A and B are shown apart, each in its own frame.
Chain A
Amino acid sequence: ETGVTQSPTHLIKTRGQQVTLRCSSQSGHNTVSWYQQALGQGPQFIFQYYREEENGRGNFPPRFSGLQFPNYSSELNVNALELDDSALYLCASSLVRGEDYGYTFGSGTRLTVV
């Protein structure tokens, strides 16, 4: 059984640019959630996708968007990058009822905006 893999592991972008982060879900999981973890803080929920549709969203602006593909892999896109977007971005996959089974997390993508 494979785990959750994220790419790239590290990324440096310039303010105003756009970035795409990728996540491959654990085999058999059809739900994916994305989180932002700033240094010294707990992960903040960005959004969740189930069967290619957004299934819940946290307090993040529309420039944070996502996609989930038929193979359940997913992307997080961030437009018009700001310095405060610098953080560790975590992807987590689960069976449909993540609240019953919990989430399997990837190791994250460290994004630095300069």
Chain B
Amino acid sequence: AQSVTQLDSHVSVSEGTPVLLRCNYSSSYSPSLFWYVQHPNKGLQLLLKYTSAATLVKGINGFEAEFKKSETSFHLTKPSAHMSDAAEYFCVVIITNAGKSTFGDGTTLTVKP
């Protein structure tokens, strides 16, 4: 079985300040981990992925995530928030070869001017 917990349903930051969106996972097998972003009335867009290579993963738009196996975490960060980052963010775990993916409940990021 696998599960994903996004620890914050809402995060609010000021433009230019750092962003931290937290994700913990549980999995019986070696997982692949992803972060997706969903802007209002748009489809999901892949931000970055971890697939057992480097534990620090760089994605698009300045986002990064670090895989910490001992903490079963995959937190998403960005050094400086931009107004265009305001959206819903989803952490996703996919079990290798099982064809099954599990999404977290999402974190709504608000960026204040």
B69 beta carbon closer than 8 Å to chain A: no
B95 beta carbon closer than 8 Å to chain A: yes
Residues of chain A with a CB closer than 8 A to B105's CB = 41-42
Our pick among B94, B97, B98, B106 for the contact of A41 (Cβ within 8 Å) is: B106
B7 beta carbon closer than 8 Å to chain A: no
B46 beta carbon closer than 8 Å to chain A: yes
Report yes or no: B90 in contact with A42, Cβ–Cβ below 8 A: yes
Q: Chain B: how many interface residues by the 8 Å CB criterion?
A: 25
Report yes or no: B34 in contact with A102, Cβ–Cβ below 8 A: yes
- The A-B contact count (CB < 8 A) is 61
Q: Chain A: how many interface residues by the 8 Å CB criterion?
A: 29
B24 beta carbon closer than 8 Å to chain A: no
Our pick among B31, B42, B43, B100 for the contact of A58 (Cβ within 8 Å) is: B100
A107 beta carbon closer than 8 Å to chain B: yes
A72 beta carbon closer than 8 Å to chain B: no
Report yes or no: A102 in contact with B90, Cβ–Cβ below 8 A: no
Given A43-B90, A90-B44, residue A48 in contact with residue B106 (CB < 8 A): no
- Taking beta carbons and an 8 Å cutoff, which residues of A are in contact with B? 4, 31, 33, 35, 41-45, 48, 50, 55-58, 90, 92, 97-108
